[in-house]
């Protein structure tokens, strides 16, 4: 269905308001226009690119919640968090994150996203990784969006340890699994 520019731009505003994480490629497909047209529309409407929209949402919603590290030190963008329970982040793999010869993402980027999310989910001023066990299940390539979920699985209040399970997916397929043993300065529920 062919829309006027004004109609398309109004729908663009509404679509991004409903889902600030929608990509330019997804918008182009939805409106049957080129990615360049979407970018021009966003520029005219002063709508920032996806990365900036994600940072804006994260800063508004989670800036005062994450205690264990500054939000800008989290690898990927936190899109949901409930301290000492669960957290969710996304990481868009770009050319600088992959090996040049095969286009596969370097493992340390996936580990860094998972590890920093395991740190961020801890409700403490200090959270450090004591031990990790990880499995790379499937290669990740440039252009992939990695969605990582961290879930607090257990606590050891005597040792001040929190055990966090992390799972990363691309298009709902598991690409990375990690288990993290985290040190914290106080037990869950303790106040300073």
Q: Which domains does the chain have, with CATH numbers?
A: 5-47 (1.10.10.10), 68-184 (3.10.129.10)
Whether the full predicted model's pTM is greater than 0.85, yes or no, is: no
Tens-place pLDDT, residues 96-145 = 999 999 999 999 999 999 999 999 999 888 889 999 999 999 999 999 99
pLDDT confidence of residue 79: 80
pLDDT confidence of residue 192: 45
Q: Where are the alpha helices (DSSP H) in 5-143?
A: 5-18, 24-31, 35-45, 50-62, 107-120
pLDDT-derived band at 188 (thresholds 50, 70, 90) equals low
The C-alpha atoms of residue 55 and residue 50 are separated, in whole angstroms, by: 9
The per-residue pLDDT of the chain, averaged, comes to 86
Reply yes or no on whether the pLDDT at 55 is more than 70: no
Q: Which residue has the higher pLDDT, 82 or 175?
A: 175
Taking a C-beta distance cutoff of 8 angstroms, is the pair 127, 150 a contact? no
pLDDT confidence of residue 75: 86
Tally of helices (H runs) and strands (E runs) in the chain: 5, 6
Q: Which residue has the higher pLDDT, 59 or 136?
A: 136
Tell me the β-bridge partners of 180. 132, 164
Q: Of all helices (H) and strands (E), which one includes residue 192?
A: none
Q: Which residue has the higher pLDDT, 47 or 151?
A: 151
Q: Of all helices (H) and strands (E), which one includes residue 77?
A: strand 77-82
Taking a C-beta distance cutoff of 8 angstroms, is the pair 145, 158 a contact? no
Question: Could you tell me the two tokens for 108?
Answer: 């340390």
């Amino acid at each position: 269905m062919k829309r006027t520019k004004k109609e398309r731009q109004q729908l663009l505003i509404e679509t991004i308001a409903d889902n600030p994480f929608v990509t330019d490629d997804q918008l182009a497909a939805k409106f049957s226009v080129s990615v360049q047209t979407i970018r021009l529309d966003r520029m005219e409407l002063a709508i920032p690119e996806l990365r900036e929209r994600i940072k804006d949402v994260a800063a508004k919603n989670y800036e005062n919640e994450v205690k264990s590290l500054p939000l800008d030190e989290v690898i990927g963008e936190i899109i949901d968090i409930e301290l000492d329970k669960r957290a969710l982040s996304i990481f868009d793999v770009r050319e600088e994150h992959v090996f040049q010869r095969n286009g596969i993402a370097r493992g340390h980027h996936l580990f860094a996203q998972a590890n920093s999310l395991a740190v961020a989910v801890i409700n403490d001023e200090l959270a450090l990784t004591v031990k990790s066990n990880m499995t790379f299940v499937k290669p990740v390539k440039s252009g992939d969006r990695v969605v990582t979920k961290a879930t607090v699985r257990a606590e050891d209040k005597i040792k001040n340890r929190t055990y966090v399970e992390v799972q990363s997916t691309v298009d709902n397929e598991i690409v990375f699994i990690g288990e993290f043993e985290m040190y914290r300065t106080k037990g869950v529920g303790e106040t300073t």
